[in-house]
Structure 1
Amino acid sequence: MKKNVFTFFLGLGALIFSAQLSAQDNPVSIGFKAGTSLSKYRLSGNMEGFNSKMNIGGSVGGFIKYDLSRNFALQSGVDLYYRTSKLETITDKTSNKIKSFGVEIPLYGIVQGEIGSGKAFIGAGPYIGYGIMTKSDGVNLFKNSSAINRPTMNRFDYGVGAIIGYDFDKNWQINASYQFGLADLHKAKGGAMKNNGASLGLAYKF
């Protein structure tokens, strides 16, 4: 996993560097974005005795977009997110709120075209994430549990995502994205927790 993360960052760095060198020939745009999100976990195995319910969160970040041609581009960036969800037992309906804070780096291949006075786009690609802190009832799930002497959840996440949006003019953009996590974030054997989320955001490009 660490090798894959290093390879992703290396490739991302090469992309950004080449984009900067080619800025005169290939348009490069940089921007900031903020949005609101809904997230939960997909549960399986011995976690099927729980329901994960969506709660509201948010994110802020920056991105760089490299237009390879008029109708195709690559876009990446860094998103700082805050997510919340409820983990509820099916039998007695007791619940714990899970709060997560971390970073994600997506890489989208984007198809775009002019519609009306602006430009519409849609894209998809992989992402990697790193959890800075995840808490439930005040307990940091990334630290060793007193009961099992090990963390309850994994910090590293990865998966696939999609984005769709519209550039109103040179600067303003509205977008929606979806993340489908593939990494099992639950450390205990026999159960799995995988991220699932969607967001709606507003961006400003330079």
Structure 2
Amino acid sequence: MKTKKIILLTLSFILTVSINAQDFKFGVTGGMNLNSITNNENKIGYNVGVKGEYFFKEDKGLYLDMGIMVTNKNWETPYYYNIEDNSASRWNANPHYLNIPIHIGYMMPLSKKVSVFVNAGPYLGIGLFGKYNMTTGNTNATVANNIFNDYLKRFDYGIGGKIGIEYAKHIQLSVGYDWGLKNLKTNMYPMDYKNRSFEISCTYIF
């Protein structure tokens, strides 16, 4: 129920802004992530979704950047060695989140067609699904079909930022970074697991 309420509130906020704002734009976006959990190894994932931009009337460069994204935040651990049986094991996961960033940004024109922008702010992540696997030698076994049931907390939050370039007021290319602030591990594993994600994305604004 909490997840549904958060999603509905966010959708209502974005819809209200889009209806009332003359300077509201929206588009579709997608790209690639390089993800890790604190102190673990990087893996490649993806992001895809919709976004909106609301430009404040007092300053045409200052704007609110918001979106609803499905984000795959893959990660894996290094190998851990068991001295007793002389074996090595590693764990990997492919959690998918519904990511909701709400950033404040500024866009500055360089020419009639080219502008640069930067934005930063908080994000909320809601765990959807994803498997948790263990690899020992040449054997790969699924530990959990949904990692959010027992191994990771479902809700994530943090701060993020982006910098990019816009062409002809329609095409945007950007790079960004999300810094997770919440320890996602359940009480079953008292380790510090926080999301880290470097992102490259392309957006088309209608």
Scaled to the shorter chain, the TM-score interval is 0.7 to 0.9
The reply to whether residue 79 of structure 1 matches residue 72 of structure 2 is no
* Unaligned segments of structure 2, at least 5 residues: 83-87, 134-141
Match of 1:193, SS?
A: coil
Partner of 1:20: 19
Rounded Cα–Cα distance in structure 1 between residues aligned with 2:36 and 2:68? 21
The correspondence of residues 48-197 of structure 1 with structure 2, limited to 5 A, is 52-68=40-56, 69-89=59-79, 91=81, 94-116=89-111, 117-137=113-133, 138=142, 139=144, 140-143=146-149, 151-188=150-187, 190-197=190-197
Q: For residue 161 of structure 1, report the CA deviation from its aligned partner.
A: 0.5
Partners of 1:8 and 1:127 in 2: CA distance: 13
Counterpart secondary structure, 2:153: coil
Contact 1:87 1:98 in 2 (8 A): no
Instruction: Please tell me whether residue 34 in structure 1 is matched to residue 22 in structure 2.
Output: no
Separation in 2, partners of 1:67, 1:16? 15
Q: For 1:201 and 1:7, how far apart are their aligned partners in 2?
A: 25
- TM-score, reference length from structure 1: 0.81
Query: Structure 1 residues 174 and 204 mapped into 2: Cα distance closer, same or farther (>3 Å)?
Result: same
Runs of 4+ in structure 1 deviating by more than 6 angstroms, as ranges, are none
Scaled by the length of structure 2, the TM-score of the pair is: 0.81
Aligned CA-pair RMSD: 2.3
1:204 Cα deviation after fit? 0.4
Q: Provide the residue aligned with 2:139 in structure 1.
A: none
Cα shift at 1:169: 1.0
Distance 2:93 2:17 in 1: 40
Read off the aligned partner of 2:205 and give its amino acid letter: K
2:120 and 2:29 map into 1 onto residues whose CA distance is 18
Distance 1:134 1:15, change over 3 A: closer
SS in 2 for 1:17: helix
Amino acid at match of 1:187: T
Partners in 2 of 1:168 and 1:104 — Cα distance?
A: 26
97-106 vs 84-93, which deviates more?
84-93
Q: AA paired with 2:66?
A: S
Shift of 1:177: 1.6
Aligned length: 186
CA contact (8 A) 2:17 2:24 kept: no
Matching residue of 2:85: none
Residues 1:62 and 1:173: Cα distance change in structure 2 (over 3 Å): same
